[in-house]
Amino acid sequence: MGVEQVPTFCPLCVSRCGARAIVTDGAFVALEPDPSHPTGAALCIKGKAAPEIVRHPERLLHPLKRTNPKGAADPGWQPITWDEALDTIAARLLALAREHGPESVVFSTTSPSTSAMSDAVDWLNRLRRAFGSPNLCTYMELCGWGRYLASVYTYGEAVPGAYLPDLDHAGCILYWGYNPSVARLAHATGTVAALRRGAKLVVVDPRKAGLAGRADHWLRVRPGTDGALALALTHVMIERGWFDEDFVRRWTNAPLLVRDDTGRLLRAGDLAAGGEPAHYVAWDSVGGGPVGYDPALGRYPVDEARLALSGTHEVATTAGPVACRPAFDLVAAQCRRMAPALAESMTGVPAAEIEQTARTLWQSRPVAFYTWSGLEQHSNTTQTVRAINQLYALTGSFDTRGGNVLFPAVPTNPIDGAGLLAPEQRAKALGRARRPLGPARFEFVTGEDLYTAVLDGDPYPARGLVNFGANPALPEFEEPRISPRSRPDLAHRYPLILTCAKPLWFCETQHRNVASLRKSAPDPQVELHPDTAAARGIAAGDWVRIQTPHGDVRARARFNTSLDRQVVCGQHGWWQACAELGLPGYPPFRPGSANLNLVLRQQPSDPVSGSSPLRASVCDVAAALPDPD
Ligand SMILES: Nc1nc2c(c(=O)[nH]1)N[C@H]1C(S)=C(S)[C@@H](COP(=O)(O)OP(=O)(O)OC[C@H]3O[C@@H](n4cnc5c(=O)[nH]c(N)nc54)[C@H](O)[C@@H]3O)O[C@H]1N2
Ligand SMILES: Nc1nc2c(c(=O)[nH]1)N[C@H]1C(S)=C(S)[C@@H](COP(=O)(O)OP(=O)(O)OC[C@H]3O[C@@H](n4cnc5c(=O)[nH]c(N)nc54)[C@H](O)[C@@H]3O)O[C@H]1N2
Ligand code: SF4
Ligand SMILES: [Mo]
């Protein structure tokens, strides 16, 4: 036997670091980085703990069947064979489909970003579609909506979800609500290499987390006000002419004329001279007249450089003269309302820093960017993401080397069964009526809509769950709906703003039972500024209570001087005990809980996507009461 090195990758999180498994006498003993693999420069501590996770006594290796009724203190788990498990499940699911329609079964999966499901999720979708259910619940609205689906409404493509940052060739890297040092190691190592060759880095984060310490600009934004910051940056770039006019004219709808009277795009069919009803219209500043845009050919009859981006232009229509403005002029007017000084008062980012960052974005392009859950878990996520997408378009870096690009993938046949689901079944996705542009349009069910269907039978009862692991106007800034500013009635009692971030040692609700990881981070933590703590009689390391209008949960105080004094940052996912270290678990619901989501609520959610406001809630922090005994 001896020692074998098996080329593989770590599937524990989205980074999927290239690795070599060291197998000694048939036993998996270590995981090592594989620098010859594109993502193999390094492994994090979780990857290094892989053998411990594989051998962990709590790891489930066989199907278990509940033998006591739900609610019983002991579920009475009994091991069964795979055949029995599969036959039982198949029979029950087919009965539900027969009696209530296949849509009554919701399929659910943990996020591929926090598990090995990325390799299996296409097969799960094939199963779901072949079964006939339009409902996949994977909390797309919490960490996938902005990167993937909301951006489709700006680009027609998923940016930066599918069009990834080309770190190797970027002149400037922009990370917004994203900490790759914790969340995606391969992006962190790629960024460090880019910095070494002179690339600039801009980080927007309420905390000086990860690479923020090495950034040329770290913008300490008040949680949930990122949309205002994006509009202010756009304002500066437009006012100073720091934008790629050629890209904007050729590749965006910026030159298209919008009618002042209706606010709608002018169509060639509206023109007195007549024209193709489906064609849009721009203003030829050289010829001094309207020109049609053929969407099928993607072309104007004149060189794009002649198209006006500003000004009011009177166009002769069948209903008389109509004043029109290029769409870009409307964007500029909207952004003019968000001058840096105003944005400073809303976001806490100094106006001078906004100016300088805009200059860096322009002068150091191509810009490669990534945004993630710092932006996703808000009541205003969709508009924030749209504002950032609009800003990014101005850099002209979309789909260019060093910007955000579609990397070549290994050619494989799609196996997700996209054609297997009949359109009439697809239309039944839960939540589609409530949010027609939201995740349900793409067969994703939000947590909110799933629970409404289960508890209230609205719009129809969800009876089965197959669980794998767990045209608004231009973008406008909207204050988070449950912040001290939007809810002054609550601000007196809850003056602080609660956000959250992922810890390096664990994925979401997992891994607290793995000794080598838990020993580095034994307790749930809440980060706060030392002055905020001192004002409440809290010392570093004290147990404290994080209080919101929905109750309180416990955590240990950890000081972080990079935070605004009004902002505190908690951690999600604490419940497991670690028997090996004798460290406790925490009840998910009862007093003494450390479950952050116990004191947060789904509502008020983002009107388009249903994203939950987990990152900008009113709160306070108080010293923990002494034990009653
Ligand atoms: N170690 C580890 N890695 C993981 C995971 C894990 O749990 N642990 N989970 C995986 C999954 S499922 C996901 S979705 C990704 C997420 O990856 P990230 O999105 O990078 O993770 P977070 O640390 O939650 O959030 C990123 C940053 O957003 C900041 N932030 C908080 N509120 C705001 C805000 O209002 N505005 C801005 N601009 N920033 C804000 C936080 O301070 C944090 O530094 O990570 C994946 N990788
Ligand atoms: N307050 C707050 N709440 C949050 C977040 C936050 O940042 N703050 N983050 C949100 C985000 S971004 C996400 S993605 C969700 C994550 O929430 P979940 O999707 O529930 O993810 P986990 O908590 O990591 O649980 C994953 C489960 O899947 C199992 N698992 C792991 N690998 C596999 C596999 O290959 N197959 C199967 N079948 N099972 C597997 C694990 O054992 C574990 O039980 O939480 C969200 N909730
Ligand atoms: S960052 Fe860590 S957990 Fe994620 S794939 Fe790489 S080694 Fe595994
Ligand atoms: Mo996630």
CATH number at residue 569: 2.40.40.20
Same-domain pairing of 272 and 316: yes
Asked whether residue 570 is assigned to any structural domain, the reply reads: yes
Residues less than 5 Å from ion ligand 4, measured at CB: 111, 113, 143
Q: What is the pLDDT of residue 469?
A: 76
What is the Cα–Cα distance from 200 to 213, expressed in whole angstroms?
13
Same-domain pairing of 234 and 347: yes
Q: Is 13 in the pocket of ligand 3 (CB under 6 A)?
A: yes
Distance in Å, CA 69 to ligand 2 centroid: 26
Q: Is 571 in the pocket of ligand 2 (CB under 6 A)?
A: no
Domain boundary among 329, 359, 376: 329
Q: E strand or H helix at 105, and its extent?
A: strand 105-109
472 pLDDT tier (thresholds 50, 70, 90): very low
Q: What's the number of CA atoms in the CB half-sphere (13 Å) around residue 273?
A: 10
Q: Is 146 in the pocket of ligand 1 (CB under 6 A)?
A: no
Asked whether residue 507 is assigned to any structural domain, the reply reads: yes
Asked whether residue 629 is assigned to any structural domain, the reply reads: no
Q: Is 111 in the pocket of ligand 2 (CB under 6 A)?
A: yes
What is the Cα–Cα distance from 429 to 188, expressed in whole angstroms?
37
CA distances to 107, 123, 135, 594 from 119, in Å: 16, 8, 20, 32
Residue whose CB lies within 8 A of the most ligand 3 atoms, among 8, 9, 13, for a mutation test? 13
Asked whether residue 75 is assigned to any structural domain, the reply reads: no
Q: Is 514 in the pocket of ligand 3 (CB under 6 A)?
A: no
Asked whether residue 610 is assigned to any structural domain, the reply reads: yes
Domain count, the chain: 5
Q: What is the pLDDT of residue 622?
A: 97
Which residues make Cβ contacts (< 8 Å) with residue 528, sequence separation at least 6? 496, 538, 557, 558, 559, 560, 563, 568, 569, 621
Residue among 523, 611, 533 nearest 567 (CA): 533
Amino acid at 462: A
Q: Is 373 in the pocket of ligand 2 (CB under 6 A)?
A: yes
Same-domain pairing of 609 and 510: yes
249 pLDDT tier (thresholds 50, 70, 90): very high
Same-domain pairing of 370 and 449: no
Distance in Å, CA 376 to ligand 4 centroid: 9
Same-domain pairing of 550 and 537: yes
Asked whether residue 368 is assigned to any structural domain, the reply reads: yes
Residue 350: φ, ψ to 5°: -55, 140
Q: Is 49 in the pocket of ligand 3 (CB under 6 A)?
A: no
Q: What is the pLDDT of residue 1?
A: 65
Residue among 387, 259, 254, 358 nearest 310 (CA): 254
* Residue whose pair of structure tokens reads 């198209």 in the numeric block: 307
Same-domain pairing of 213 and 347: yes
Distance in Å, CA 116 to ligand 2 centroid: 11
Q: Is 183 in the pocket of ligand 1 (CB under 6 A)?
A: yes
CATH number of the domain bearing residue 185:
3.40.228.10
CA distance between the termini of the chain: 58
pLDDT digits (tens, 9 = 90+) for 283-294: 999 999 999 999
* Residue whose pair of structure tokens reads 């300088």 in the numeric block: 356
Average pLDDT over residues 569-596: 94
What is the Cα–Cα distance from 366 to 398, expressed in whole angstroms?
9
Atom of ligand 2 nearest to the CA of 120: 35
Residue 281 tokens read as 């219209």
Residue whose CB lies within 8 A of the most ligand 2 atoms, among 110, 137, 145, for a mutation test? 110
Asked whether residue 302 is assigned to any structural domain, the reply reads: yes
Distance in Å, CA 139 to ligand 2 centroid: 9
Atom of ligand 1 nearest to the CA of 569: 42
Instruction: Let me know how long the chain is.
Output: 629
Compute the mean pLDDT over every residue in the chain, rounded to the nearest whole number: 94
Same-domain pairing of 440 and 450: yes
CATH number of the domain bearing residue 34:
2.20.25.90
Same-domain pairing of 598 and 558: yes
Beta strand 525-528 with 551-559 is parallel
Same-domain pairing of 128 and 158: no
Query: Which residue intervals of 14-73 are DSSP H helices?
Result: 45-48, 50-54
Which residues make Cβ contacts (< 8 Å) with residue 324, sequence separation at least 6? 257, 258, 259, 260, 266, 281, 283, 312, 313, 314, 315
CA angle 605, 606, 610 (to 5 degrees): 70
Domain boundary among 329, 359, 383: 329
Task: Tell me the residue range of the domain where 8 lies.
Answer: 3-55
What is the Cα–Cα distance from 225 to 177, expressed in whole angstroms?
11
Same-domain pairing of 559 and 596: yes
Same-domain pairing of 509 and 570: yes
602 pLDDT tier (thresholds 50, 70, 90): confident
* Residue whose pair of structure tokens reads 């069009």 in the numeric block: 163
Asked whether residue 249 is assigned to any structural domain, the reply reads: no
Residue 335 tokens read as 């952004």
Q: What is the pLDDT of residue 628?
A: 42
Average pLDDT over residues 434-451: 92
pTM given for the model:
0.95
Same-domain pairing of 466 and 499: no
pLDDT digits (tens, 9 = 90+) for 43-76: 999 999 999 999 999 999 999 999 999 889 899 9
237 secondary structure, DSSP code:
H
Residue whose CB lies within 8 A of the most ligand 1 atoms, among 182, 219, 507, for a mutation test? 182
Closest C-alpha to ligand 3, atom 6: 17
Percent of the chain with pLDDT over 90: 86
